[in-house]
Amino acid sequence: MCRLLGVISREAAPLTETLATDLAPFAALSAVHCDGWGMAYWDRDDDLVLRKEAQAASDSERFWDEAKQADTDAAVLHLRKASSGMIPNLANTHPFVAGSVAFAHNGYFSPMQRVEALLSETGGRSPEGDTDSERYFGLVLAAMRSLGPVEALQATAAQIRRASEHLVSLNALVLTHRSLFAFAYWDESVPPSAEAGTATYELMFRVSADSVTVASDGWEPPGPQWERIANGMVLEVRRDDLRVTVHRG
The pLDDT tens digits for 156-210 are 999 999 999 999 999 999 999 999 999 999 999 988 777 777 789 999 999 999 9
Looking at the chain, the whole-number percentage of residues with pLDDT higher than 90 is 86
The domain spans of the chain are 3-247
Length of the chain, in residues: 249
For the entire predicted model, the pTM comes to: 0.96
Comparing CA positions, the residue from 58, 20, 18 lying closest to residue 42 is 18
Write out the CATH class of domain 3-247: alpha beta
Comparing CA positions, the residue from 51, 104, 60, 69 lying closest to residue 215 is 104
Distance CA 233, CA 52 (A): 28
Task: Give burial (CB, 10 Å; 0-12/13-18/19+) of 126.
Answer: exposed
